[in-house]
Amino acid sequence: MGASPTTTRTKDRWVTFGSLVAMVLGAILGEWIHRNGGSANGFALAGEMLLVRPLLLLVVPLILLSVIGGAASLGATGRLGLLGGATLAFFISTMAIAAALGALLVSWVAPGAGIDPAAAAALKAAPAALPAAATSGEVGSLQDAWRSILYQVVPKNVFGEMVAARPLGLITFSILIGLGLSAIGDAGRTALEVIEGLNQALMRAIGWVLWVLPIGVLALVTSTVARAGFEALSGSLGSYMLVVIGGLLIHALVVLPLMMGLLGGGNPYAFLWKVRRALVTAFSTSSSSATLPVTMEACESAGCSRRATRFVCPLGSTLNMDGTALYEAVAVVFLCQLFGIALGGAELAVVVVTATLAAVGAAGIPSAGLVTMVLVVQAVNASLGNDPARSLPIEAIGIIIGVDRILDMVRTMVNVQGDMIGARLLTRLAPD
């Protein structure tokens, strides 16, 4: 039994207008709490319980079931290889464009060179401590990061990957099972029907979670703004933040729509409006992984094929991060400017390439981009000959930690937007 059209319409209105009002109200309330030195812990807990945890609860089964179903139906058409290649090409090219846009913009505006010397000295004097993963050697070198990604793509134990909620191995496993099911023909029919039924049930459950989206958004935006405060925008890091946000907006509202229009994906702005609930969820949770259930639900109802959605969105939520690539490029060049390290064309090219790779390596969780930025810093230092006089200390990343949460919200929204535009475009290769 499906939801009645009236219920669907009521829910749509409530989710759309409720979430938009919640974002504004959350920003005002959060700023008020910040200025009065209050605590927003209650809001953080409410947001986690109402939105983040229920969505995360659905993510692992959703990846397994949707990719098995998607791979089985693609396997039957023989187009899995084509779709896989096109998907990866789309991901890498859009991320590289985003990183190049970020590097150009930050070099042109030079926010790190314009800071008052006293404020710059204060920033350099007391960087915040980096997250443990950035300093414990977990990120390691670029080679280590690649090996880790490869190991995740082909894990030894699929249950271990489920427990750790690492999507890449789950996707590989699911593709194998899906292809197996399509290869055995009639013998696999019952299993596929069960999987399809479970997929539909999951989508319905995601629809229920959406009823609380506005309340979850209010709670999460309030708690984030209460912690960070908008004063950062006018502080010494303000122009850096504006370059990141400006770059993200150009990528989201000009570059990606242009690609979508040119590659025959239809009206990009109408599409963005249709998938707005996924954008709002990404903004408030700062996590592409937690947003994945809403991303897929929104793509399917905005006219993307089930096949493309089930293949592109799970992969995109972990690999495709345009916003993160742009952000990492801007942040590293900004820090170099602050430390008076001049970067030439070759070093900027290194920034663009490693920011793209570091974004691929970032998990779809809050602040992941901040951690993998270590890779970009290491690569830039190596390209400068590891000369101690012209090296950016890894601890310098601590300077921008305080303003990371707000930027994380915006870049996660762009990350998810990229995945959805990918699903829309690849629908042409994999229609239902």
Q: Which is nearer to ligand ASP, 134 or 177 (CB)?
A: 134
Tokens describing residue 21: 């009002």
Nearer Cβ to ligand ASP, position 29 or 98? 98
Query: In this structure, what DSSP letter does residue 131 have?
Result: P
Comparison of 341 and 362: residue with beta carbon closer to ligand ASP: 362
Q: How far is the CB of 100 from ligand ASP (least distance, A)?
A: 17
User: What would the two tokens of residue 14 be?
Assistant: 């409530």
The least distance separating ligand ASP from the CB of residue 289, rounded to whole angstroms, comes to 6
Closest approach of ligand ASP to the CB of residue 178, in Å: 25
| Beta carbons of 318 and 335 less than 8 angstroms apart | no
State how far the alpha carbon of 328 is from the alpha carbons of 16, 101, 136, 354, 365, in Å. Answer: 31, 11, 20, 9, 15
Residues lying near ligand ASP in the complex (CB under 6 A) are found at 286-288, 321, 324, 362, 364-369, 408, 411-412, 415
**Residue nearest ligand ASP, CB atom distance:** 369
Q: How far apart are the first and last CA of the chain?
A: 22
CB of 411 to ligand ASP, least distance (A): 5
Closest distance of CB 196 from ligand ASP, Å? 29
Contact 371, 139 (CB under 8 A): yes
Nearer of residues 298 and 365 to ligand ASP, judged by Cβ: 365
CA quadruple 334, 338, 341, 342: dihedral sign? positive
364 SS3 class: coil
Strand boundaries in 16-137, DSSP class E: none
Cα 238 → chain centroid: 23
Residue nearer to ligand ASP on the CB measure, 222 or 412: 412
Which residues have C-beta within 8 Å of that of residue 392, sequence separation ≥ 6?
Answer: 332, 335, 336, 339, 341, 377, 380, 381
Residue 247 beta carbon to ligand ASP: minimum distance, rounded to whole angstroms: 14
Nearer to ligand ASP, 74 or 294 (CB): 294
